[in-house]
Amino acid sequence: MEDSLEMLYTREWRHRWLVILGLVLVLVLAVFVSLNMGSIHLAVSDVISALFSGEGISAQTKMVVLDLRAPRIILAILAGASLAVAGTVMQALMRNPLVSPFTLGMSSAASFGAACAIVMGSLPLLALSFVQFQDAFIVLFAFIFGIGSVFLIYAISLRRGSTSATLILGGVVLGYIFQAGLMVLQYTSNNEKLREITLWLMGGMWGANWSAIWIITPIVIVSILYLLWKAWDFNALLAGDEVAQNAGVEIKKIRIRGLFFCTLASSACLAFTGIIGFIGLIGPHIGRLLIGQDNRYLIPCSALLGAVILLVSDTIGRTIIEPVEIPVGVIMYLLGGIFFMYLLMRKENQIFT
């Protein structure tokens, strides 16, 4: 008995690192497969030379790999990782396993904000000032609406008598309100923008381009690093507010800052992808099954899972019935809906109290 606890921990530690390492390998593999697949099939050697040497391949191949597929893959990875991390952290902050950017209505709010920026960008007066910084404006608007919705829901959760069910219902309803807003924009804006907003409602990776990637990459990295740094605080919150406070966690501060960075990372991505549901639930829950509740490991694990799942779903979406693309948002609704039902039916984890 004496040393079994340490052995247990060492075993768990080794297991956790193996899972993370395994997921990194899976992600790398998924990236290569995804670079190969598509309406133009490429040989592995072509992809490798397009990425590294740039010799011995046609300009078209190079363009397909570097300008079409690479940004799209990176966007899928960033979006999957940030939404899954946001879900993980929000679930810890609110001690509610059904909370995620989508179920709190934040995905819809951020997408609505981004769509507003796009529509404003097409107005003649604003267009001039917008054109140069349009991508930055889109991110900014997505963030403003995203953070507004999150703190609205958070305020509701602080009211006396609110249960975990109130929180989710409030979030779902808020999501509908912003989706209605998106539809109004769609109905009133001109034809050119109409298609873009339709895509927004379905969620997809069409918005990928290098300038978007350059904006969101640092935002996502900084946010995830901050959240990872605070992993001990999230762990402590799992044992209740009082215990966390006694363990030295400033719970108000960590809730507000945690929600801020969750929203920042996910709304930056959502600004270019539109509404992508459920990845913030699927990532963390599979992560917990694989690796347990310790957020020091769960956060990177969920990030990798989210990235892999979204990238694979997007790759399947764009290749399964070529040349027609199925938006990855639609695939996530399908997968996520089924997963959500499973979470609700699971017996050992009482979700609504």
Helix axes 251-273, 210-229, angle to 10 degrees: 160
Q: Retrieve residue 240's tokens.
A: 């209740």
In this complex, which beta carbon is closest to other proteins, that of residue 91 or of residue 319?
Answer: 91
- Examine residue 302 and tell whether it contacts other proteins (CB under 8 A): no
Q: According to CB under 8 A, which one of 131, 180, 225, 243 is a site residue for other proteins?
A: 243
Residue 92 Cβ vs other proteins, minimum distance, rounded to whole Å:
7
Q: According to CB under 8 A, which one of 232, 257, 334, 335 is a site residue for other proteins?
A: 232
Place of tokens 């690093």: 225
Q: According to CB under 8 A, which one of 68, 292, 316, 334 is a site residue for other proteins?
A: 292
Site for other proteins in 117-136 (CB under 8 A): none
Following CA atoms 137, 139, 140, 141 in sequence, which dihedral angle do they give, to the nearest 10 degrees?
90
- Examine residue 55 and tell whether it contacts other proteins (CB under 8 A): no
- Examine residue 349 and tell whether it contacts other proteins (CB under 8 A): yes
Residue 255 Cβ vs other proteins, minimum distance, rounded to whole Å:
13
In this complex, which beta carbon is closest to other proteins, that of residue 35 or of residue 236?
Answer: 236
- Examine residue 233 and tell whether it contacts other proteins (CB under 8 A): yes
In this complex, which beta carbon is closest to other proteins, that of residue 196 or of residue 233?
Answer: 233
In this complex, which beta carbon is closest to other proteins, that of residue 36 or of residue 91?
Answer: 91
- Examine residue 5 and tell whether it contacts other proteins (CB under 8 A): yes
Place of tokens 């593999």: 29
- Examine residue 289 and tell whether it contacts other proteins (CB under 8 A): no
In this structure, which amino acid lies at residue 352?
A: F
250-269 mask for other proteins (x: CB under 8 A)?
x-------------------
In this complex, which beta carbon is closest to other proteins, that of residue 162 or of residue 349?
Answer: 349
- Examine residue 20 and tell whether it contacts other proteins (CB under 8 A): no
Of the candidate spans 56-64, 103-111, 240-248, 322-330, the one that interacts with other proteins by CB under 8 A turns out to be 240-248
Total site size for other proteins, rule CB under 8 A: 34
Residue 300 Cβ vs other proteins, minimum distance, rounded to whole Å:
13
Q: According to CB under 8 A, which one of 249, 265, 271, 282 is a site residue for other proteins?
A: 249
- Angle 45-48-53 from CA coordinates, rounded to 5°: 115
- Examine residue 159 and tell whether it contacts other proteins (CB under 8 A): no
Site for other proteins in 86-105 (CB under 8 A): 91-92, 95, 97
- Examine residue 247 and tell whether it contacts other proteins (CB under 8 A): yes
Residue ranges in contact with other proteins by CB under 8 A = 1, 4-6, 8-9, 91-92, 95, 97, 232-233, 235-236, 238-250, 292-294, 296, 348-350
